[in-house]
Amino acid sequence: MLLKSISSSVPRKRKNERRKGLHLRQLSTVGKKKVGARGQGYALSNTLTADLLFKAKVVNLILSKDTEEALQLLSQRYEVAKPNLKVGMPKRYSKKPACYVAKKRTIHVSDREVLSNPRVVLHEFYHHLRNFKDAQRGIEKYAQRFAENYLQAYRIIVARIPAQRIERKNKKQNV
Domain region containing 79: 47-168
Q: Where do the H-state alpha helices sit in the chain?
A: 2-9, 15-20, 45-63, 67-78, 118-134, 140-174
CB atoms within 10 A of CB 124: 26
Query: Tell me, what's the pLDDT at 5?
Result: 46
Query: Tell me, what's the pLDDT at 66?
Result: 94
pLDDT in tens, 26-54: 433 334 444 444 444 444 444 558 899 99
101 or 25: which leads in pLDDT? 101
Euclidean distance between CA atoms 34 and 42, whole angstroms: 6
CB 129 within 8 A of CB 78: yes
Query: Tell me, what's the pLDDT at 94?
Result: 78
pLDDT in tens, 82-112: 999 999 998 887 788 999 988 899 999 999 9
In a domain, 154, yes or no: yes
In a domain, 55, yes or no: yes
Provide the percentage of residues in the chain whose pLDDT is more than 70. Answer: 62
Predicted TM-score of the model (pTM): 0.66
Total structural domains within the chain: 1
In a domain, 88, yes or no: yes
In a domain, 62, yes or no: yes
Domain CATH code at residue 121: 3.30.2010
